[in-house]
Amino acid sequence: MRNILKNLITLTGASKKDFEVLREFSPILEEWEKDVVKIFYDTLFEYEPTAKVFQKNERPAREVTLQNWWKQLLSGEYDLAFWEHQWLVGLVHVKREVRNHYMLGMISRLQTYVLDRCFSDFEPVTARMVYGAFKRVTDVIGGLIAEGYFTKYLEAVESAGIKRTVLDRMVALEVDKMLREARKTT
């Protein structure tokens, strides 16, 4: 996980300054919490494929989880435990069958909302700074969750008795076959 985190931070350009910006502007960003939670869960519960991920009457508990995440995100405290928690969300997503495209779609939904709010609540220079910080940090989070999902999925397959080297070879053969087929049609 640490190497993946390092890669994501480097590639996104996320920095300590981003965490400081989110903390500095947290009093304003905290005011957005109710809207963030509403938009997030309205989107999920109004779309049939994502709504079926949830159990009946589960929404209030999930809303508390997102509220806590929002508060942690704005705290500016990004220790190893914070990043490991994001990584483990991937494992929860495997269990709940929350595919990465759902998660990435919702990260995008949050980023778009924050972008709009930044440009309505701040002067342009500040809006770009705050949004840039939020975007980079949430891109790292999205990457960790996606990689956590993939890694934990593969670990579960290995635990079931399929060796990673065998699986990798099977996948490579199938990908080669798919590429050959795709090249025939193009």
* pLDDT tens, the chain, 186 aa long: 999 999 999 999 999 999 999 999 999 999 999 999 999 999 999 999 999 999 999 999 999 999 999 999 999 788 899 999 888 887 788 888 899 999 999 999 999 999 999 999 999 999 999 999 999 999 999 999 999 888 888 888 889 998 888 888 988 999 999 999 999 887
Q: What pTM value is reported for the model? A: 0.89
Q: Which two tokens stand for residue 63?
A: 């809303």
Non-local (6+) Cβ contacts of 151 within 8 A are 90
Question: SS3 of 47, please?
Answer: coil
Distances (CA, A) of 20 to 23, 33, 75, 130, 133: 5, 19, 9, 10, 9
Can you list the alpha helix ranges (DSSP code H) found in the chain? 2-12, 16-24, 26-30, 33-46, 48-51, 59-75, 80-96, 100-121, 124-159, 164-185
**Quick check: 132 and 111 in contact, CB under 8 A?**
no
- Residue 46's pLDDT is what? 97
Q: Which CATH architecture has domain 2-160?
A: Orthogonal Bundle (1.10)
- Residue 118's pLDDT is what? 98
**Quick check: 75 and 23 in contact, CB under 8 A?**
yes
